[in-house]
Structures are given as structure tokens and as C-alpha cells.
Amino acid sequence: MSSREVMIVLAHAQTCEPCRERLLKDPLAVLRGRALSDEEKATLSGLAAEDFGSAEQLAQAVGCTLADLFEYRDHPVARLRHF
């Protein structure tokens, strides 16, 4: 799972604590209107706070590589798009 939109959501949530908390508390509100498949929404909705403990844990939780996650960490949209 490494679609652009998923990776932007993950990369931002990994670095922005308020947005991560919002994603964990009300994923449906955060994901509404985003170009995501039902499978991607289910995966992102199933994340827990523990999954954000490290980049390795997050990558494993969503089934992407660390390289995928790191590629988007500094993406301008991921850095600036708050949920």
C-alpha cells in the first residue's frame, strides 16, 4: 500500500501530533473526501497509537516500506496539509 494519498496522510500524521490524534480519534472524519480505496480507508482507520511508535512500526502496520514512508516525510504537501 503506497498510494500517494495514503503516504501523505501517514507522513503527516507521523510528524504532526495533533493531526495524528485526530486520525486516531475520528478516522472517518479525517479520511472523508480523500481519494482512497475502501481498503486504504480500512487500513488507516485501524491504526493505533502504538503503530506510530517508530517509522518501522508504522510501515509494518500499513504494509509499506520504510523507503516509501521516508519518501513522503519531506513532501511539501505532507508537511503542510493538516487534517
Domain ranges of the chain: 4-80
Task: Kindly report whether the global pTM for this prediction surpasses the value 0.95.
Answer: no
Write down the residue that cell numbers 481519494 correspond to. Answer: 35
User: Confidence band (pLDDT; 50, 70, 90) for 2?
Assistant: low
Is the pLDDT reported for residue 16 higher than 60? yes
From the list 25, 11, 26, 28, the residue with the least C-alpha distance to 82 is 11
Long-range contacts of 37-42 (CB under 8 A, 24+ apart): 37/3, 39/1, 40/1, 40/3, 40/5, 40/6
Note the pLDDT tens digit of each residue in 23-78: 999 998 988 888 889 999 999 999 999 999 999 999 999 999 999 888 888 777 76
Residue type at position 16: C
